[in-house]
């Protein structure tokens, strides 16, 4: 499931690129998504590392965490 596909660069803040879906999301929801994505990363990493699961899921979670963290950093700076 690709929640955070980067289709285009929506806006930038310094070196950070913001995605429109994240820009429109309220702060508590961002934190919830971050928590859930961390848990998904742990699960997908375990499947990849110990059960021959696909590395693509791990990469997807890491990219989602990066996008979420960038948006959280921007909100904290504003």
Q: Contacts by 11-18 with C-beta closer than 8 Å and gap 24+?
A: 13/74, 13/77, 16/70, 16/73, 16/74, 17/70, 18/70, 18/71, 18/74
Give the integer Cα–Cα distance in Å for 55 and 16: 25
Model pTM above 0.85 = no
**Of 3 and 25, more confident:** 25
DSSP E strands: which ranges in 9-52?
A: 11-13, 16-18
Residue-wise pLDDT tens digits, 23-36: 999 999 999 999 99
* CA 75, chain centre distance (Å): 15
**5-64: per-residue pLDDT in tens?**
554 445 565 656 788 889 999 999 999 999 999 999 999 999 999 999 999 999 999 999
């Amino acid at each position: 499931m690709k929640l955070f596909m980067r289709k285009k660069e929506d806006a930038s803040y310094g070196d950070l690129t913001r995605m429109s879906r994240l820009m429109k999301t309220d702060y508590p929801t961002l934190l919830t998504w971050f928590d859930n994505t961390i848990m998904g990363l742990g699960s997908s990493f375990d499947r990849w590392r110990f059960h021959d699961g696909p590395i693509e899921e791990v990469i997807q979670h890491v990219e989602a965490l990066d996008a979420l963290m960038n948006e959280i950093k921007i909100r904290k700076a504003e």
